[in-house]
Each structure stands twice: as structure tokens, then as C-alpha cells.
Structure 1
Amino acid sequence: MDITTLVQPALAAGAIIALLALLKLSNVVRYIPNNQVGIVEKLWSVRGSVADGFIALNGEAGFEPEVLRGGLHLFFPFMYRIHTSDLVTVGQGKIAYVFARDGAPLGASQVLGANDSEDNSDFQDARRFLMAGGQKGPQRKILREGTYAINTTQFAIITDERVYGHALSDQERIVLDAMQLTIAERWGFTPVILAADHDLVGIVTVHDGPSLPPGEIIAPEVGIALHDAATFHNNFQEPEKFLAAGGHRGRQLQVIVEGTWYINRLFATVENVPKTIIPVGNVGVVIFYTGPRMADVSGETYRHGELVSNGGRGVWKDPLLPGKYAFNTYAGKIEIIPTVNFILKWVRGEVGAMKLDENLSEISLITKDAFEPTLPLSVVMHIDYKKAPMIIQRFGDVKKLVEQTLDPMVSAFFKNVAQKMTLIELLQNRAAIQEESAAEMKVKFEGYSLELQEVLIGTPRAAPGDQTIENILIQLRMRQVAREQVETFQEQEKAAIQERTLNEAKATAAAQAALTQSLIQIRVNENEGAAALARAQKDAETRKVTAAAVGEQSRLEGQGEADRALAVGAANAQATKLAVDAYRGPEFRLAEQNFAKFAEALTRINQPLVPQFLMSGGQGQETGNSGLIPTAMLSSMFGRMMPEALEQLKREAPRSARQ
């Protein structure tokens, strides 16, 4: 084979390779993939190098602001170097941050580059950005989801996955990596998401803009009017509108609530805090650290501080009612005040739900007889919700009220009571002490805007290791046991009596047949007695009627006899009168009658008229005077009787004459 035939193809191939190499070196033709952009670097120019800045805007040698998109591109040989860079991709639900390497310098107090116009906020047109006065450094505007053809020589794009940038120096790489770390620590590559079920509120701190005026700690709300498109920043998502509305850097009064918010974390950070929940049975008294200064509305009689209208700086006069509030806890404080009855326990180790009594313990007492018991105590109280702000203004919080005022006051009261009583009196008079303490302390509590409901006193206790009080209690228990035994014995006696009654009832039941027969016999006897009684009553009535008839007969007979005797008497009297007149004097008639009666009497007696025996004055001798004794006796008797009879006759004679 002729060597010439071999050399010619080789030369042609070499020429082609050399041509291709020349084309490659001269960058006359360059292909840009569709998933990348081409960054043009002008190697030389008749206009020289860039005098100011980093990007060649006027044809100078340097990086061109425009990028090349996918496809073939022709260039003047040996004048340009083409660098490729991936398209910037921001994932779904992600945020990317822009760092401008060229542009106007930031202001002295400026943290982020301004993007207050459409031109200086267009990061896909570097020339437009720079010509509109775009500033170098981190930008206020962020990139949302999507793919962007950005000149990464002018703009370094920071995402959570990587940093898009071209021709970065080691120092710039360090700065951008630190920036990425800062953003990641602030969870800045994702939007702020406040879920409805988490009950969180976002407290915003702005890191750019003018500083707060002296004396202010919270920036006021700005740009919250929805109808004002120029200033409504929609919860800090548009920094330029926030600043245009007069916003200040620092912690903001405005908070963000549930939703998804794309906020530049280099411009503003968000701290999630729980919402303020005021449970039912409580109110919230607001102590506000910011806001306008307002006039005092507490009144002239309240001298413990000032109350202001809601929204002003100070203690708000109207408390927050039960509910859920998106309250900025850095702008103020909410004191939860119970409005239901709650208990304060002076018992060590027993703490209520609100922990108001966690520092309270039993009250140490000294009794009249020198015992030193401790008294557990519980107080039930209530706070009027309208008076709650006054309590906070006066004491700061309810716990300070309890520890600094109520505890000393209650302790002193019961110490005074204990000093007047012995230990046994203290134990026995518990109810009276409780009633007295409730009445007196209720008045004192009202002076602190509190309403006392009840005072509950426990049993006095001894100090650990002290048995004296226990001994007293043992003695009291022994006395009580003795009393109970007495009552037990009495009850046993009653039981014995009842048992005897039961036994009698059992015996009665055993003899029930005989008792029944006897009861029947008793009834028979009762019936027979009733019949006899009835017969007797009939006989009595018969006798009564008979007696009445006999009596009437006797009366009539007596009346007739009396009439007859009266007539006889009258005739005798008349005869006697005539006889007296015949004897010419009553005394002669009387003497005649007496001798007649005497003679009649002598005829009726069985005694002899002449005595059988004669008694004389001498023994065995008879004197002449012995027979005169009966004569003397009779003469004396008749001598006494005659005058009386004559006098009686004189009295009766006139009556007989009248009859």
C-alpha cells in the first residue's frame, strides 16, 4: 500500500482534530444543556476591565450579567469563556435565600438588601437588578417553589440542600456556608406553620429596619389594614411593605396565628409560644408593658396604684374572661385569678392546683396552759372578678397576697385565740372558735377585696416526739370510754328488762290455751255480773219507787200526826192555862204536877221506899238524926228543881196562850 494513501487521511483527521481543538479553545461554538445556564466571562475587551463592581455592564472584560439558556451558541473566537451552572431549583414547601455579590452597598443600619421595586427584586435579570440600584448582600426577598435561570455569579442562592454559586472564593464559600447554617438553625428553609391543633402563637422579632424609640421595648403594630395594599405586609411576609408602614426592628406587638407563613428568617424570626388559656372559673388580669400612656381609671378612693383602660400601658381595668387568647407574652403578662371558691391549706405538704399555698404550713400555737400544738387550717375564699385587677395592682399576684398578708393575719388571729384557752378548751370549743374566726376574718378579708366563705379548723397536733398532748388526748378518750361504758351498762340493763319481758311473753304464749279459757271465763263472769248488776239496778229502782211511796205515806201520816199533836198540844195548853188560873199561880200547878210525876215514878220502880239498911254516924250506935238523910236529900233536890220548873213554865205559858 502506498504510504501516501495512509498519510492523507491521517492528516485530514489531524486537521479536523486540530480544528476542533481550535474551536474548543477559541470558544467559538458552545452547547448549553437545557438544565443549565451559561455564564459568560469576557476575557478581553477594547473597553478594558470593569472599573467598579463585579459584573461588566458596559462590555468590559468580566462576567456578563446575562446568562445563556440551553442550545448552541456562537462567539467571537478567543474572547469569551463560558461557564455552566445548574438551574436553581426550590422544592415544594421550601424557601431559598438570595445573596447578591454585586450591587450598591448596604446602608449603615441596613441588614438586608432592599427589594422595594420590581426592578431591584428581579433576580433572574442581573442587569435590571443592578441598573435599578439593587444592593449587594443578603436580600429581603426570598425565592419560593420553582426553577429559576439565575446568574449564579451575581447571585448566590442558598437552599437547604446546597449553595448555588459560581466562581466563589474560599472566603465567600465560608460566609455562605455559615449563612446556610444560621438559616437552618432558624428553620428558615421552610415556612412558618402554625397548626390549629397545637394552640400556638408566633412572636415575631424583626432584624431589619429603624430601631425603636427610647423607652419602648415592643414595636407597635403597623401595616395590619387589609385594604391598604401599599402597607399591608400580611404577617411579615412582605418586608418592604412592613418598613413602608413604619415598622421598627425588634420584638413586635403583632403576633401570627394559625396558618402557613413564608417569612424571610434573616429578616424576622418567629418564636412559637402557647396561646394563653384562661380556664372557666378564672379571669386574666393583664399587666401591659407597652402601649400609650392613659389616664388612671381606678378612682380617687383607690390609692394602691393606677388602673388603665384596656390597650394602655399598665394594669388593665377590665380582666380577660375565660377563653383562649393569642396574647404576646413579651408585651405583657396575664395573671390568672380564680373566681370560683378555692381553698388555702395551712398544711405542710398539701398544695392546691394553683400552688398558692405551697409555702404555707400549720400554725404554731401556745395555749394558756403552756402547751405548744400546731393547728392545721383551711380557708375557703372567693375573688370577685371585677375586683381582680385591684388585687394585682395592690399585691402583684395572688401568691404574694397569700404569703405576705393572709398568712400573717390568719396566724396572728389563732395565736391570740389559743393564748386565752387551755388545750382541752381548745379541743372542745373548736366549733365556737371556727364560727368566731369566720365572722372576724370575713371583715378583714373584705379590706383586701376578698370574700371569705368558710374557715375550717383541723385537730391541733403536737410537735414530732412530743407526747404531752397525746397523753391529754388519751385521758380524754378514757373519760369518754368510761361514759360509753356507763351508757352500755344502761343499755344492757334495758336489754335484760326486755329479755325478761320476752321470756314472760314466751311463757304467756306457752300458756295461751289456759289464758284463752280464763279470758273466756272472765268474759262469762263479766256477762253474769252485768246481768246481776242489771237485776240489782232494777231491784234498786223498784225499792226506790217503793221507798218513795212509803216515804210519801210516812210524810203524810207524820203531817197528820203533827197536826193532831198540835191540836192536842193546843188543847193541853189551854187546859193547863185554865188549871194554872184555877190554882191561882203557875208554881202551885207545877208543884202539883211534879208530885204527880214523882208518885208515878215511885210506882214504876222496884226499889223499896224504906231503906233496908241504915247508916249512922257512930259505930254500933243509932242517933236520932240518921233518918233524916233521905229527907234532906229529897228536900234539897226539890229545892233546886222547883225554881227552874217554875221559870220554864212561865216562859212556855205565853206561847201556849198565843197558839
Structure 2
Amino acid sequence: MAILFIILGGFLVLGILFWMIGVRVIPNDKIAVVEKWWSPKGALDEKIIALNGEAGYQPELLRGGIHILSPLMYKVHKCSLVTIPQGEIAYVFARDGKPLDPTQTLGEVIVEGNNFQNVRGFLNHGGQKGPQRGIVREGTYAFNLAQFIIITNHKTYYLPLGSKSEEGSIENMAKILKERNGFTPIVIKGSDDEVGIVTVHDGPSLNKNDIIAPTVGDDASNNMTYHNNFQDSEKFLKAGGFRGRQHQVLVEGTYFINRLFATVQFIEKTIVDVGFVGVVVSYIGPRGEDSSGEGYKHGELVKEGCRGVWNKPLMPGKYAFNTYSGKIVTVPTTNIILKWISNQSGTHSYDENLKEVTLITKDAFQPSLPLSVVLHIDYKKAPLVIQRFGDIKKLVDQTLDPMVSAYFKNIGQTKTLIQLIQDRSDIQEISSEEMKVKFGHYNLDLEEVLIGTPSSSENDNKIEDILTQLRERQIALERIETYSQQEKAAVKEKEFREAESRAAQQQFLTESEINIEIQSNKGKAEYRRALEEASKIKAIAEAEAEKEARIGVGKAIAVDEQVKAYGGPQYQVMQEIMSKFTQAIEKSQTKIVPETLVTMGGAEGNSGNVFEMLMGMLISEKLGVDFNKNSEEVKDDRAKKIKDSILNSLNNENKDDFKDDNTPIIE
């Protein structure tokens, strides 16, 4: 035990001896901040770092190794080396240095400070206290933690000085940096189609007429002012940059930007689709010369980069456009369809507030007229349209709607309802031509006006009644036309059937035509034979007539002679009658003489057969023979009648023939 105590005592004495001598051992992964207790040069008043050997924190550090410093004069504060991981950023807060100017928020970057590792160079060359513009990238650094407070993503490195307000300020600063995601670089990916809008928090303020800071220091050939997209804050300010939102934007890439100096907001790129152009309305830039011409009185068009409406639109594509420095109004270059129809709108939705035009016709109807207008905007004239109206929606609502409505109201007053319906095509054609001039006045190209069918309101059925009558009238006309066509079809069908039948009976028709020709020839032959036979018969007849005539004449002469011989014609007549009567009785076998004859007494002239007397009286009465006439008179009269009868017969039948043969007619 005694030996143990002796050994421990020896180590204790040795340690006290080393301490009194001032031997300090610093590991290689550590640094030591030297604090001087006292000095013949006195103490510091307002500073923290003693640059001239005064009492206080010394600017130089003790690195790894053995150092001899008297504990009676120096206090050594061992600190860890600061390591910044790859892909991260560390921020620096200086405890000592020149105060910041009233317009400054961050201390200047001092190149001689060797990235904040040379405290003496930092302070001797005007280093400022407070948060610094410069940042620390990945690596291991030996910082004097009495002068600089290093804020990293996971830890804050500093040498406590016992000030609660300082600790609160450091904690607040670290909190702000975390909120701004300030410990990692800004990465903008091309796949995100985003751009970064930068807001600088240090530097001189903007003029009262500026709303956004102009682009400065973007010329990579000028090494003195090229700040490489806000990554070199000192060069940005040297180039004349202002605090506030910047016109220059960040595109795809990785940027190590001090978030205390500048913050970044992400917005989407402006895309001008195919079928559109983008008219730029710039809020910044110098005043440019008007390029719209003297005849254009609705505003000015300026060149690119000037304040106002640019005279050249952006063609389809993606643009890293700062929407805080201006706006891009997309104007369709394809056909725009505007529908004056309730609850309907075109592809671009510019007509969502439009509805049917209410008309008052000449005959006092109030129909609603649906319309569609097809128009086109020349991409070269798109800036003129935007300069005049602001956007296409305002153009439609404030100008085209009242103009088109008034035009068709005027047309409606000159037309009856039926004319409005029946003349729709003519009205459509005329309105298209006339309204092209009106649309051209607004730098628009009218393609076509399309007119729909007028309709009535919900509580008015009169227009529908008119339309019903027109439909019925048209149906009647169509029926007439249908019947006419059907009639023509029937005629054609009949002709077709006849042709078809004729074709089917062609053989028989041919044969019949041949037969007709044969029969015709036969008929002609028979006709000739008939003519010859007729001539023969005529000749025979003439001969027979002449024969009969001559026989008749002979008979007449014979009768005349008989009459003369028998004493008169009445006897000849009686003879003939009695002969006929006798023959009739004989054939009928009638008993005309009774078996018993009763005779009556009387005068002598009255005796005889009673039947004979009755027949005599009957015959004489029917024949008109007067038996009391003289026989000569009766004879002459009878002969004359027979003669006349024969002569008449001969004259009527053969008179011409006798004349042809030069034969004398019997008189």
C-alpha cells in the first residue's frame, strides 16, 4: 500500500509540475482556442479577439501536438474540428468584426479570411460581425469557435461565452435555416418543369418605380461581376444587384446559395402549346419605342426586353418565364368557336357566359336564335388584340357579344318568323360577309357564321305552332312529290314489264309478224281473186238481168194479152186467189162444205153457197176489187199496175246496167 501511494503521489506531483510548466497536449482531431488571462498590453474594450497580444481570446489556434502555455497566463479551450458532410452547407456567424452597415443584413466575404479559418486576416481586412454572406461547403475545418459560430444541419459549433441573448440568436438563426431548407443546395430537376424565382435579402433597395430587380452579372465572360446564378453574393452586389425579387430565374441545375442571402421559390415553366402563341406583357424594363403605328390608338407595342406589350409573340414551347416580372397571355391561333347557346361552350371556354340572342321579328314574334361564330386570330396580330382587350375572354364578353347580338336583332326586325326560318341560308351567307368587316376592325378574321333554328320560350308555344304548320305543309308537298315519283315509277315499271314480256315473247312476235306478212300477202291475193270474181259475177248478173228483163217484158206482154183474152184483170186475180185458197184447203184437209146443206128460199139471184158468197165478199173487200165497175176499166187499171210494177223493178235494179250497155229502158 505504501508503494502504491508513493506511485500515485509521484504522478500527482508530476502532473502538477507539468501544469505549472504549462504543457498542453492537443489531439490531432482537436483544436484549441487560447484565452489569455492577463497581459501587460491591457484588456480589450469592445472586441472579443485580441489581435495585438491583449488579454482575451487569441486569433491563432493550437493544432494537434504538445504545447507549453503557462496556466497562470493562458487558458486553453479544446474544441472539435468541424466536418461538413458532402452535399451540405454550413453557415457562419462572426462574433467580432466591424459592425454591419444600416443597409446590410450579412457580413461581407473576406477572401483573406481563408474561408473563415484565418481570424487575423478576416478582422484585419474589414471582416464584419454577424451572419456572413459566405458559406462553408463540405470538408473538415479548423475554426476558431471563439470568433465564429458554425451552424450545420445537425449541430451548431461554438465556444460558449455565457451570453443568453447570443444563444437565443444562434438558435433562431438555425431554425430559420431549417425552415428554408438551407443546409442543402438548391436542386432543380428538368423533369419537374420548374424554375426558381430568387429573392435577395441583402444589398441596396429597389427604386420606387421598380417592382422587381433587373438582371445583373449574368455575363460569364466578365469574371469580376459574374455571380454564377447568385452563388457568389459579393459579385452579385458588385455587379449592381438589388435586394428583392429578381428578374433572373434559376433553371435546371444544382445551386449552392446562401439562404440567408437569397431564398428561392419554385414555379412551373410557362408552356405555350401548339395552336397558341404567347403575348408577353412585361412589367419591367426601359420604356421602348411604340411599334404599333400611327393608326393604332389603343396602346403601344414595344420590343423585347422593354416594359409593355412585346410586339413579337412567343411561339409554342416551354419558357423559363418569371411570372412576377410579367405575364404571358396565350392566344389561340386555331379556329375559335363561340356559341351563343345556353349551357354550351367551345373548347376554349371563352363563351361560357353567352346565350341565345332574343329577337323581335317583323310579325311580333320573340324567338331565341342560337348562333355559332367561327373566328381566327393571326398570330402576328395577337399582340394587337391583347394590347386592345387584355385577353380573349374580355374581347368576347365586352365586345363580340353585344356586337353580334345587336346585328342579329336588327336583322330580326326586318324578317317575319317564317322568313327567318326559310331564309336562314341567305341570312347566314350575308351575315358572314358583312360581319367580316366588323371583326376585321378588331384584328380578327371571321371564318363563318352558323345560324341555328329559332326557338320559343318555355311559356310560348306560338312559334312551335308555326313550325308545326310548316312541317305539315312540307309533308304534304313531299307526299305530292312522292306520289308523282311513284306514278313515274309505275309507268317505268309498266314499260319495263312490257319490254320484259316483249323480250320473253320475241320469238312469237317474230313468228306472228311473219304470219301477218304471209296473211297480208294471202289477203292481197284473195282480194285480187275477189275483184276478179266480182267482175265475173257482175258480168253474169248483168247478163242475167238483161235476160230477166227481156223475159219479164215478154211475160208482161203475154199477161196483157191474157187479160185481154179473159175479159179483165179481176177475173185473173180471182183465179189466182182461188187457186191459192184451194191449195190451202187441200193441205189443211178442212171440210169447207158441210155434210148437210140448208138452203133458204129467196129470190133467184140469191141462191147458191153461202160460204162462196162470204169468201167472195171477203176477197173483194181485201183486194179492193169493185165488181160493179166496168170490166174494161178494171182490165185497163190492172194492166197498168202490172206494167208499172215490172218497169219499176227493171229500172231500179238494172237501169245503170242497161244504160252501160246502151240498152233502152222499157217504157
Q: What is the TM-score of this pair, normalised by structure 1? A: 0.73
Contact 2:359 2:367 in 1 (8 A): yes
- Change in 2 beyond 3 A, CA 1:302/1:7: same
Is the contact between residue 220 and residue 226 of structure 2 (CA under 8 Å) also seen in structure 1? yes
CA shift for structure 1 position 145: 1.6
Q: In 2 relative to 1, CA 521–295 (structure 1 residues): closer, same or farther, beyond 3 Å?
A: closer
Q: Residue 373 and residue 72 in structure 1: after superposition, are their counterparts in 2 closer, same or farther (change >3 A)? A: farther
Q: Which of these residues, 314, 322, 325, is aligned with residue 319 of structure 2?
A: 325
- Out of 250, 255, 258, the position equivalent to 2:249 is 255
The alpha carbon displacement at 1:113 in A equals 0.2
- Whether contact under 8 Å (2:34, 2:77) holds in the other structure is yes
Cα drift, residue 16 of structure 1: 2.4
- CA displacement, residues 251-270 of structure 1 (integer Å, 9 cap, x when unaligned): 22222222222111211222
Alignment of 1:397-436 (within 5 A): 397-436=391-430
2:82 match: 88
SS across alignment from 1:97 = strand
Q: Give the whole-Å Cα distance in 2 for the aligned partners of 1:437 and 1:309.
A: 38
Change (3 A) 1:414 1:121: farther
1:138-157 to structure 2, matched below 5 A, reads 138-157=131-150
Cα pair 1:122 1:129 within 8 Å, conserved? no
Q: Which residue of 2 aligns with 1:268?
A: 262
- Alpha-carbon displacement from aligned partner over 1:416-474 (angstroms, at most 9, x marks no partner): 11222233322222111211211111111111111111111122233345444333333
Q: Is the 8 A contact 2:362 2:415 kept in 1?
A: yes
* CA deviation map 1:258-308 (0-9, x unaligned): 222211121122222222222333322222222222332322222222222
State how far apart, in whole Å, the 1-side matches of 2:523 and 2:203 are: 131
Cα 1:255/1:519, change in 2 over 3 Å: same
Alignment correspondent of 1:525: 515
* Secondary structure class of the residue paired with 2:112: coil
SS at match of 2:173: helix
Separation in 2, partners of 1:25, 1:359: 91
Verify: 1:305 aligned to 2:299, yes or no. yes
- Match for 1:159: what amino acid? T
Aligned to 1:128: 121
Q: Please identify, of 9-18 and 408-417, the stretch whose mean Cα deviation from structure 2 is larger.
A: 9-18
> Partner of 1:445 in structure 2?
439
Provide the residue aligned with 2:8 in structure 1.
13
Distance 2:506 2:292 in 1: 94
What is residue 277 of structure 1 aligned with on the other side? 271
1:235 — aligned with what?
Answer: 229
- 1:27 deviates by 9.2
On the 8 A contact 2:115/2:136 being kept in 1, the answer is no
Contact residue 82 and residue 157 of structure 2 kept, 8 A: yes
Match of 1:642 in 2: none
Question: Is contact 1:27–1:82 with CA below 8 Å preserved after alignment?
Answer: no
Q: Specify the alignment match of 1:222 in structure 2.
A: 216
DSSP 3-state at the match of 1:337: strand
Q: In structure 2, how many angstroms separate the alpha carbons of the residues matched to 1:97 and 1:287? A: 39
Q: Give distance in 2, aligned partners of 1:48 and 1:503.
A: 141
**Structure 1 residue 340: Cα displacement:** 2.5
Secondary structure of the residue aligned to 1:98 is strand
Provide the TM-score with structure 2 as the length reference.
Answer: 0.72
Report the RMSD for the aligned CA atoms in angstroms: 3.1
> Which of 329, 338, 341 is residue 335 of structure 2 equivalent to?
341
Gaps of 5+ in 2: 529-667
Output the amino acid matched with 2:123: L
Residue 125 of structure 1 aligns with an amino acid whose one-letter code is: N
Question: Which residue identity does 2:431 align to in structure 1?
Answer: S
Q: CA deviation at 1:412?
A: 0.5
- Cα distance, 1:462–1:72 mapped onto 2, change above 3 Å: farther
DSSP-derived class of the 2:111 partner: coil
- The equivalences for 1:401-550 within 5 A come to 401-490=395-484, 515=505, 518-525=508-515, 528=518
2:365 maps to which of 343, 366, 371? 371
The residue that corresponds to 1:556 in the other structure is none
Q: Give the unaligned 5+ runs of structure 1.
A: 1-5, 540-659
CA displacement at 1:529 relative to structure 2: 7.8
Q: Aligned to 1:330, what secondary structure does the other structure show?
A: coil
Q: Once the two structures are superposed, what CA deviation does each residue of 1:86-139 show, in whole Å capped at 9, x if it has no partner?
A: 322222222111111111100111111011x42146301222211222101111
The share of aligned pairs that are identical, in percent, is 55
* SS of the residue 1:411 aligns to: helix
Question: Does the C-alpha gap of structure 1 residues 7 and 248 become closer, same or farther in structure 2, counting only changes over 3 Å?
Answer: same
For 2:331, the aligned partner's letter is I
Q: For 1:506 and 1:46, locate their aligned partners in 2 and report how far apart those are by CA, in whole Å.
A: 145
What is the alpha-carbon distance in structure 2 between the residues aligned to residue 453 and residue 177 of structure 1? 68
Q: Deviations over 1:312-356 (max 9, x none)?
A: 222222222333332222222222222232212222333334332
Q: Secondary structure at the match of 2:182?
A: coil
Alpha carbons 2:113, 2:120 under 8 Å: kept: no
* 1:402/1:256 CA distance change after superposition, 3 Å: same
Letter paired with 1:519: L
